């Protein structure tokens, strides 16, 4: 995940190795429980768009913008996670992200208007992206390679399979039989369970930090490029893709910003994004297949 992860990994691994098998199961289970909240949050606008329009008197365009806000926030959180961990430490970063995720998911049950929906979605996505990235890094640091074939499938079930298969069914069942906001209340206890375990056993997480700079220009370019790309993907089909000037300008803006990011990343100074993981063929294959 980063140089810091590589240096502190053995000590974290030694801590967990001294724990019982139930502690190891609890560690994996707590992260999976938190990731399940993100799965429900991520499927909300795509699965229950009609219900959201009815609840907030929103238009299809407004629900699409909510989806854009969600994915931009989540994508940037995934990119930011490694640097945040280096700056404040794995323990503080993961516990803070878990807390925000649980609180923002709970808040989803009480929103009453469209602006509050956007605010809650923004927090849910950012915290969810952080939990996924930091949780994946924590598992890679805490367990030796021989245990990864057992650990990673469970994490993948929570982070990939549940959002793709079970989350839409879960949300649809509540929306049809009760109220869509009740789904938040039913999934939050899992987040409380996972977050509570992490707070009680936070000694298995690393506190190592490293001073890193904050490249403002690069961050702005990345945010603009991500926003433009997500906007084009979400609105392209509704606006006939290249027949719409808005889509064309969004793609051109994304291309210019990405070129700017590439230039700043290759100017000889320390990079903002970690690329060392691509040295491993299995990571490169998994990343490419995931895209």
Same structural domain, 10 and 33: yes
Minimum mean pLDDT range among 8-12, 195-199, 256-260: 8-12
- pLDDT, one tens digit per residue, over 66-92 is 888 898 899 888 888 888 888 888 889
Residue at 21 is within a domain: yes
Split into its structural domains, the chain has a count of 2
Report the pLDDT value the prediction gives residue 16, as an integer from 0 to 100: 61
Segment 94-116 shows an average pLDDT of: 92
Residue at 280 is within a domain: no
pLDDT band at 261 (very low <50, low <70, confident <90, very high): confident
Report the pLDDT value the prediction gives residue 7, as an integer from 0 to 100: 42
Residue at 285 is within a domain: no
For residue 125, what are the domain limits? 3-204
Residue at 279 is within a domain: no
Residue at 61 is within a domain: yes
pLDDT band at 11 (very low <50, low <70, confident <90, very high): low
Same structural domain, 75 and 187: yes
Same structural domain, 197 and 231: no
The yes-or-no verdict on residue 286 having pLDDT over 70 is no
- Which residue has better confidence, 249 or 209? 249
Across the chain, mean pLDDT equals: 83
Same structural domain, 128 and 48: yes
Same structural domain, 251 and 120: no
Same structural domain, 110 and 226: no
Same structural domain, 48 and 161: yes
Same structural domain, 181 and 257: no
Same structural domain, 138 and 250: no
Q: Give Cα separations from 205 to 21, 38, 91, 167 (angstroms).
A: 17, 21, 5, 29
pLDDT band at 6 (very low <50, low <70, confident <90, very high): very low
What percent of the chain lies above the pLDDT cut of 70? Answer: 89
Segment 6-20 shows an average pLDDT of: 56
Residue at 229 is within a domain: yes
Segment 231-256 shows an average pLDDT of: 84
Segment 260-277 shows an average pLDDT of: 77
Report the pLDDT value the prediction gives residue 8, as an integer from 0 to 100: 45
The yes-or-no verdict on residue 53 having pLDDT over 50 is yes
CB 126 within 8 A of CB 77: yes
- Which residue has better confidence, 3 or 278? 278
The CATH number for 86's domain is 1.20.1250.20
- pLDDT, one tens digit per residue, over 201-225 is 887 787 777 776 777 888 888 888 8
Same structural domain, 231 and 149: no
pTM: 0.81
Residue at 88 is within a domain: yes
Same structural domain, 59 and 191: yes
Report the pLDDT value the prediction gives residue 1, as an integer from 0 to 100: 41
Same structural domain, 113 and 145: yes
Residue at 275 is within a domain: no
């Amino acid at each position: 995940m980063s140089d810091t992860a590589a240096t502190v990994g053995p000590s974290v691994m030694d801590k967990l190795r001294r724990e019982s098998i139930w502690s190891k199961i609890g560690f994996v289970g707590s992260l999976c429980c938190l990731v399940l909240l993100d799965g429900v949050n991520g499927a909300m606008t795509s699965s229950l768009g009609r219900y959201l329009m009815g609840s907030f008197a929103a238009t299809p365009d407004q629900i699409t913008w909510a989806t854009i806000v969600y994915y931009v926030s989540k994508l940037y959180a995934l990119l930011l996670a490694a640097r945040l961990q280096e700056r404040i430490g794995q323990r503080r970063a993961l516990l803070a992200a878990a807390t925000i995720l649980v609180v923002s998911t709970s808040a989803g049950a009480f929103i009453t208007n469209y602006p509050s929906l956007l605010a809650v979605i923004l927090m849910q996505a950012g915290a969810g992206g952080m939990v996924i990235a930091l949780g994946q890094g924590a598992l890679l640091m805490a367990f030796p390679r021989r245990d990864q074939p057992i650990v990673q499938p469970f994490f993948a079930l929570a982070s990939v399979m549940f959002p793709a298969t079970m989350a839409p069914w879960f949300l649809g069942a509540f929306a049809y039989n009760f109220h869509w906001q009740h789904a938040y209340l039913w999934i939050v206890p899992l987040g409380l369970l996972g977050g509570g375990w992490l707070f009680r056993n936070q000694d298995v997480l690393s506190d190592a930090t490293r001073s890193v700079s904050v490249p403002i220009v690069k961050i702005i370019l990345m945010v603009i490029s991500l926003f433009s790309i997500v906007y084009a993907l979400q609105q392209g089909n509704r606006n006939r893709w290249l027949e719409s000037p808005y889509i064309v300008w969004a793609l051109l803006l994304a291309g210019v910003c990405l070129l700017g990011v590439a230039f700043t990343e290759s100017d000889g100074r320390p990079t903002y994004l970690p690329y060392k993981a691509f040295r491993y063929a299995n990571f490169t294959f998994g990343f490419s297949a995931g895209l």
